[in-house]
A and B are shown apart, each in its own frame.
Chain A
Amino acid sequence: MSEYLVSIITLAAIWVVLALSLNLVTGYAGQVSLAQGALFGVGAYAAAIAATRHNVTFPLDIPLAAAITATAGGLLALPALRVRHDFLVLTTMGVNFVVVAIFQYVDYFGASSGIVGIPLPALAGRTLSSHEVMAIAIGLAAFTFVSNWCLLRTWFGLRMVAIRDDEAAAAATGISVAATKIWAFVLAGAYAGIAGALYARFIGSVFPSSFGFVESVTILSMVILGGEGTLVGPLVAAVILRSLPEVLRPLADWRLVVYGLALALVIRFQPGGLLGHGSILRNLFSRRAARGPLAREVRTQDAGSAGRPAGGRGGV
């Protein structure tokens, strides 16, 4: 396998973790956030600083970055508790700009020259090959997928969906809406931290520009295009959106145009996402696949109410 392909697969796996992390907050808890790029950055910078200045070795930097980013996620939730819908989108977008500005202008974070010379992951004194790093990335993506799958089968998973569907009804049922949102952001932060740490180690350097608004929009696009509130949708969308520009080089410069266009088309014609519940593709592939733990049961007589209404909750 060529190094180039290995690199594409590794990055795709990292973005699967990112898309699934935002999917917890946006797809399941219903909080549309444009700050996942910033959380990704917090994880990457945490790992970069730990590795270059404090000699934290792999794989300890991954749980460390996850813990720091989970805390950052919890902090992000605090302003988010006061606002909903479009105001939440704007608030989180603002937070993302602030975080990038801190990376950009504070010397501790290397300012605009970033942090470079992050050593490649090593185990027992031996630097891992790119193939091994790729295997670790795939392993972490699989871990994220499986742990999210399990999370959705817990009582907490049900609570996230309940606050997404109706906050007032959730509160009347004894659910602390605030606590549920905070924990969803904390979990999303933890996964973004894992992705960030792996990214920093794999690329070897971190720069503020990698974690800006565009990155947050990209991650959100993966969730919405794939089908928010499903696990397979964001996974598939992350792999495709991350790899497509690499495979089709001429497309790379047009990346954002393609994302934007795809997003507009999907929101118009398949508001639940390409692989969302009740979507054409999902119905085509299998009827049983639509029966997730919290899935809308897609039956013929329910087809009308199965998809989310265009421009409804979850749209940007």
Chain B
Amino acid sequence: MQPLLKVESLTRDFGGNRAVDDATFRVSEGEVVGLIGPNGAGKTTLFNCVSGHLRPTAGTVRFADVDVTRLPAHARARRGIGRTFQVVRPFRSLTVRQQVEVGAGVAAYRSFLTSLAPRPRRNRRVDAVLGDLGLADVADRLVDTLPLGLQRQVEIARAEALEPRLLLLDEPGAGLTNPELAELSRHVRALRGRGRTVLLIEHAMDFAMSTCDRIIVLVEGRVIADDTPKRVQSDEQVIAAYLGVEDPVGPLSEPAR
């Protein structure tokens, strides 16, 4: 499998605070990779550096063998990096269908002059994406009127319309009920079935472990493990840093304030 995304020695500082520290990893074509880590580990910062919403302080991001480190977010999206956000960011005055049309339109009509073409009433690509993600019934609704699970689906659909090669999902399962999580897991596996490579941040461990081929563990901005879900779960460093074990010292090491 070809490495689709190569992140090399990526570092991002916010003032004196190092959010991502020398992170290096690869994602191969067709993989579903989970990025996990405690709150404040730098997962979303790392995502933003990959999608172009933030510039890294140091290091490079290579996508499909091209150095995209200096490209702005929209240029990376056009090259095939789609993403969703931790807190959903729908276009609030557009219907579900129109959200998906935005992505489909960008894929087909890039320049200003071509974008002056009138939008057809129905677009096959848009209908296909809405159908794939189970949104056909709510296509004419505003996103604000939908439950959170569907709002997250809309964000995935919007990114899908661009036909991205890599899909970055930032906590797609946050705030979802168990049935919604099961539905999401099914959709993520279907994405892989359609040839998408997925990198996702997740807090719901069961979901991440059952959905992903590989797990990358980020702690204090550093990659401390990068392996199959099974091996990551038994990695002592990971257990100590993140998954949590009984503290060997016991309650004495608890709040000493």
Q: Which residues of A does B touch, CB under 8 Å?
A: 150-151, 153-159, 161-162, 164-166, 168-177, 179, 183, 229, 294-297, 301-302, 305
Q: Are B89 and A168 in contact (CB under 8 A)?
A: yes
Distance between Cα atoms of A176 and B102 in the complex (Å): 12
Contact of B74 (CB < 8 Å), options: A175, A296, A297? A175
Distance between Cα atoms of A153 and B120 in the complex (Å): 9
Q: Chain A residues with Cβ under 8 A from B141's Cβ?
A: 297
A-B contact pairs, 7 of them (CB 8 A): A154-B118, A156-B115, A156-B116, A164-B93, A168-B89, A169-B89, A172-B83
B24 within 8 A of A: no
Contact of B73 (CB < 8 Å), options: A150, A166, A171, A296? A171
The stretch of B105-113, B200-208, B221-229 in contact with A is B105-113
Q: Are A154 and B115 in contact (CB under 8 A)?
A: yes
Question: Which residues between 68 and 100 of chain B lie within 8 Å of chain A, taking CB atoms?
Answer: 72-75, 77-78, 82-83, 85, 89-95, 98
B36 within 8 A of A: no
Q: Chain B residues with Cβ under 8 A from A150's Cβ?
A: 118
Distance between Cα atoms of A165 and B85 in the complex (Å): 15
Q: Provided the pairs A165-B92, A171-B72, A229-B93 are in contact, do residues A159 and B142 lie with their beta carbons within 8 angstroms?
A: no
Q: Are B92 and A172 in contact (CB under 8 A)?
A: no
B51 within 8 A of A: yes
Q: Are B52 and A174 in contact (CB under 8 A)?
A: no
Distance between Cα atoms of A159 and B106 in the complex (Å): 9
New contact pairs (20) apart from A171-B73, A174-B78, CB-CB < 8 Å: A154-B115, A154-B117, A154-B118, A155-B115, A158-B119, A165-B94, A166-B92, A169-B85, A170-B102, A172-B82, A172-B83, A173-B103, A173-B161, A174-B74, A174-B103, A174-B162, A177-B74, A297-B142, A302-B145, A305-B145
Q: Are A165 and B53 in contact (CB under 8 A)?
A: no
Q: Are A175 and B94 in contact (CB under 8 A)?
A: no
Q: Chain A residues with Cβ under 8 A from B91's Cβ?
A: 161-162, 165-166, 169-170
B142-176 to A contact mask, C-beta < 8 Å, 1/0: 10110000000000001101100000000000000
